[in-house]
Amino acid sequence: MTAAATFFPLQNGETVLLPERLADLTGLGEFGVAGELLAAFIAAFIVANIMLAMTGVAGPWAKRKITASFTDRIAVNHLGPGGILIIVADSVRLLSKENIIPENADRPAYDLAPIVIAGSALLGFAVIPMGSGIHLADPEVGLAFVFAVAGIASIGLVMAGYASGNKYSMLGGLRAVAQNIAYEIPLVVTGMSVVLFAGSLQMGTIVEAQAEPLVTIAGVTIPSWFALVNPFAFVLFLIANFAEVGRNPFDMPEAPAELIAGYQTEYSSVYFVLVYLGEFLHIFLGGAIIATIFLGGPAGPGPAELGIVWFIIKIWGVFFLTQWLRSAIPRVRIDHLIEIGWKGLLVLAFANLFLTAAIVGVIA
């Protein structure tokens, strides 16, 4: 059981990252830098596949099932138990379709956009501590990094928007930029209030800071998750996050009833799959950030080995919330959206930051 002891580093208070441990376990570490690189690559491959598998479940199956239950329908149920094999059927269907590229497409940009959209989200998972020892890297600027790479997606949206040679795509791309600029700032500023509490941008430290007990009521210890310490910041962050990943009621860049499908109107086949995956990855990345900085990361009852399970449950919780809102809440109009962003959220975010700073200062 010594291996297990090293496998769950957070228990010991020391951070051993997945690539390092893989290097140790497989003996790749002996091959110097090249070996470590390979180990890192394998680790990244594992994490990326976990995430892609989750999007695979979410996109063709869970989304349909959740929407169906909100709308009193049955949804997919023919292939496999509960229709779960629709995932396979849909993959085959989507991948075997003809990839139609519009005549007026701006080629390199048109081809790159889906990769940028999907890739940027995957990059973000590198610094997320997922529990059970799955943590690729823990740089000191972890939180800044994750916001930065998530922000790259908007470049992908603009590329897709203008390179498609379609006016609806163009409008979608423009909306995406306007929206991302308006909501990125409140998002980051609200995130800053967490940093003030934790005293670090490092994801590992932020998670550890939340492990402290907040209060103990009748023998039940409630941890100091930042969502409980500062619910106001949590709600602000949730709203800004929905806008950032473009979910209802802020799904402006796509807005199916208005812009057909916005920036992704002209994408088909594999490119469409990438764009679609990218969208779900961004929801999950948003969920992962929320889980990490507000919900104690992989923390949860039971042994620490279950960390990844708790973490995934939290991510899915956020995903479920996006689907719930999708069924229940109308889309806001683009001008209202910008107004809410600049005049509402930004002000509230700064108010939250100053208040937090004051409180932290007083406690210190």
Partner 1 sequence: MIGLLKSMATTMKHALDGSTFTVEYPKTAPDVSPRFRGVHKFSQERCIWCRQCENVCPNDTIQIVMDDKRNGEQYNLHIGQCIYCRLCEEVCPVDAILLTQNFEFTGDTKQDLVYNKDQLRAVPWYKDIDPLESREPDRGAWIGEGEGDVDYQ
Partner 2 sequence: MSTGVEETPDVEREAELEELLGDRVLARETHLNAPGVVVNPGDVQDVLFTLRDEAGYDHCSCVTAQQYEDRYETIYHLKKFADPTDEVSVVVPTPLDAPVSQSAEPVYRTADWHEREAYDLVGIQYDDHPDLRRILLPETWQGHPLSGDYDQDKPQVVTLSEHANPLLPDHRDSEGDTMFLNVGPHHPATHGVLHVKTVLDGETVVDAEPDIGYLHRCEEQMCQQGTYRHQIMPYPDRWDYVSSGLLNEWAYARAIEDLADVEVPEYAQVIRTMGAELCRIASHMLALGTFALDVYGEFTATFMYTFRDREIIQDILEDLTGQRMMFNYFRVGGVAWDLPEPREEFFAQTRDFLDELPAKVDEYNDLITTNEIFQLRCVDTGVLEPDVAKQYGCTGPVARGSGVDYDLRRDDPYGYYPELEWDVVTEGGCDNYSRVLVRMQEVEESAKIVEQCLDILESWPEDERDIQANVPRTLKPDADTEVYRAVEAAKGELGIYMRSDGTDKPARFKIRSPCFSNLQALGEMTEGEYIPDLVASLGSLDIVLGEVDR
Bridge-partner residues for 319, per DSSP? none
Nearer to partner 2, 42 or 332 (CB): 332
- In the bound state with partner 1, the residue whose beta carbon lies nearer, of 66 and 160, is 66
276 touches, from partner 1, partner 2, none (C-beta below 5 to 8 Å by class) = none
302 or 330: CB nearest partner 1: 330
Q: Which does 77 bind (CB under 5 to 8 A by kind): partner 2, partner 1, none?
A: partner 1
Nearest approach, Cβ of 173 to partner 1 (angstroms)? 29
Piece of 67-75, 89-97, 278-286, 350-358 that binds partner 1 (CB under 8 A): 67-75
Compute how many other C-beta atoms are within 10 angstroms of the C-beta atom of residue 345. 24
DSSP 79: S
Nearest-angstrom CA–CA distance, 4 and 10: 12
Q: Beta strand 213-217 with 220-223: parallel, antiparallel or unpaired?
A: antiparallel
For partner 1, the closer of residues 72 and 335 by Cβ is 72
Locate all alpha helices (DSSP H) within the chain, ordered by sequence: 2-7, 9-12, 18-26, 32-57, 63-70, 86-95, 107-124, 142-163, 167-198, 203-209, 226-229, 231-244, 256-259, 269-294, 307-328, 334-339, 346-363
Quick count: other Cβ atoms within 10 Å of Cβ 92? 10
**Which one of residues 118, 127, 240, 334 is an interface residue with partner 2 (CB under 8 A)?**
334
Closest CB 319 distance from partner 2, rounded Å? 16
Residue from 5, 12, 30, 73 in contact with partner 2 (CB under 8 A): 73
Question: How far is the C-alpha of 123 from the C-alpha of 2, rounded, in Å?
Answer: 32
CB of 71 to partner 1, least distance (A): 7
Site pattern 312..331 for partner 2 (x: CB under 8 A): --------------xxxxxx
Question: At closest approach, how far in Å is the CB of 44 from partner 2?
Answer: 34
The answer to whether the CB of 250 falls within 8 A of the CB of 335 is no
Contact pattern for partner 1 over residues 150 through 179, marking x by CB under 8 A: ------------------------------
When binding is defined by CB under 8 A, the residue of 74, 92, 95, 214 that contacts partner 1 is: 74
Which has the closest alpha carbon to 206: 284, 150, 135?
Answer: 135
